[in-house]
Amino acid sequence: MLSFLSAYDPGVADAQDLQQLRRRLAGSPSGGTRPGQTPAAVLVPFLPGPDGWYLLLTRRTDVLPNHRGEVAFPGGRLEPGETALQAALREAHEELGIEPGEVDVLGPLPVVDTNHSRFAIMPWVGVVDAGRRWRLEPNPGEVAEVIELPLGMLAAPGSRRDQRFIRGRLLVASPAYDVGTTTVWGATARILSELLEAIR
């Protein structure tokens, strides 16, 4: 396991740790879109804090057309001629004010599909400059709340559970993560599961 997952000192995630994670992500199967799906991308931002590493997520506003009120990584659909990485960085800037140059992109995770809205989401993992933590600029039209979830707590025993729900005539099981009063579920939880697996 990479040392920064189990340590609360951001200094433990040295260049060797990040290079190892970069190599693991480079070997991730990328997947693609199927007919009828909309290509989308998200940034999965690591953020060093005073007492450990965090993942930066948002709670979407209730006025958005898709996934209202859900906890999500910053992201959205690709624009014409845009790559998934470009879209992830653009959306992080539009939603939170994170400049592309403030992100050390480590690599992609496997594509995750959404069942209801028919998105094919390409997640990109990146480390955000530590100073940005105090200079986030949430877009009020898209972001109801900025959420910092401690990486160590997300990986702790008992934080993950299986959530079951009905899709048509099928009973579907999907991971969910509970940290304090925040529950991460759906496509975001599946992205998070892929990330924690890559770290382990």
**Structural domains in the chain, sorted by start:** 3-155+188-199 (3.90.79.10)
pLDDT at 74 over 90: yes
pLDDT of res. 164:
74
pLDDT on residue 114: 75
What pLDDT sits at residue 189? 92
Q: What are the tens digits of pLDDT across the range 163-177?
A: 776 666 777 778 899
Tens of pLDDT, residue by residue over 113-133, are: 876 667 889 999 999 988 777
Quote the pLDDT of residue 174. 81
pLDDT of residue 180: 85
Structural contact between residues 99 and 149, judged by C-beta atoms closer than 8 angstroms: no
Q: What is the mean pLDDT of residues 157-167?
A: 80
Angle at 79 (CA atoms; ends 117, 190), nearest 5 degrees: 40
Instruction: Quote the mean pLDDT of the chain.
Output: 82
Q: What is the pLDDT of residue 81?
A: 94
- Ranking 46-50, 88-92, 143-147, 148-152 by mean pLDDT, the lowest is 46-50
197 pLDDT more than 60: yes
How confident is the model over 98-105, as a mean pLDDT?
A: 94
Reply yes or no on whether the pLDDT at 135 is more than 80: yes
| Residues in CB range of 174: below 8 A, 6 or more apart | 162, 163, 164, 165, 185, 186, 189, 190
At 82 the pLDDT is 95
pLDDT at 5 over 70: no
Distance, CA of 164 to CA of 176 (rounded, Å): 10
pLDDT for the residue numbered 62: 62
From 17-21, 37-41, 44-48, 161-165, the region with the lowest mean pLDDT: 161-165
pLDDT of residue 43: 97
Q: Which residue has 């057309």 as its token pair?
A: 65
pLDDT of 70 over the 60 cut: yes
96: pLDDT strictly greater than 60:
yes
CA 94, CA 68: separation in Å to the nearest integer? 17
